Each structure stands twice: as structure tokens, then as C-alpha cells.
Amino acid sequence: MSGERATVPAVLNPHASHLTAEELAALRSAGAWYAKYHAARVAELADDPSAYAERRKEGFLTLVAALRKLGFDMALPDSLRQVERQAA
């Protein structure tokens, strides 16, 4: 990780009420690591119109949106910013 650290509230929504603050922080940290690890690979697919590439980009952007809801400000590679705008 690159040193990002934020406070995660104990309850973010009714579906997460059974998770502790530490569990939520661990999920957020794991998701952030996964997203950062795969960002370059997904960025390489930015111009690929295949169904496989579209699904990978969609799944990656869904993960980034979820991480942002958990308070992690995830930056996107430049090649995916346009894809994100089109999906919005």
C-alpha cells in the first residue's frame, strides 16, 4: 500500500452492520490493493471493444466505485477516465 489511511465508520450501511470497523478497513484495504494491482492490466483494455474487455472494465469500475463509497479515493489510469465518464 502507498500509505493511504482513513477512518472507516463502524456501520456504513444496514448490510454491513455485522462487520466491525477493523473488518471493514481490512476489506477496503484488500479491495484497494486488488484495484491498484489490476489497474494497469485493465487500462491496457481501454480501447478493446471485445466482450471480455468490456466486462473486465465494467467490473474494475464497479470496484473503484465501491471503494470510493468506503472512503478510498481511488485514482484511475488516464485511459480509463474516459471509460468511467461514458459509464456514468
Q: Mind listing the pLDDT tens digit for each residue in 3-51?
A: 444 444 444 455 666 888 898 889 888 988 998 888 989 999 988 999 9
Q: Which of 7, 9, 76, 8 shows the shortest CA–CA distance to 36?
A: 76
- pLDDT of 75 reads 82
Q: What is the pTM of this model?
A: 0.67
User: How many Cβ atoms sit within 10 Å of the Cβ of residue 70?
Assistant: 19
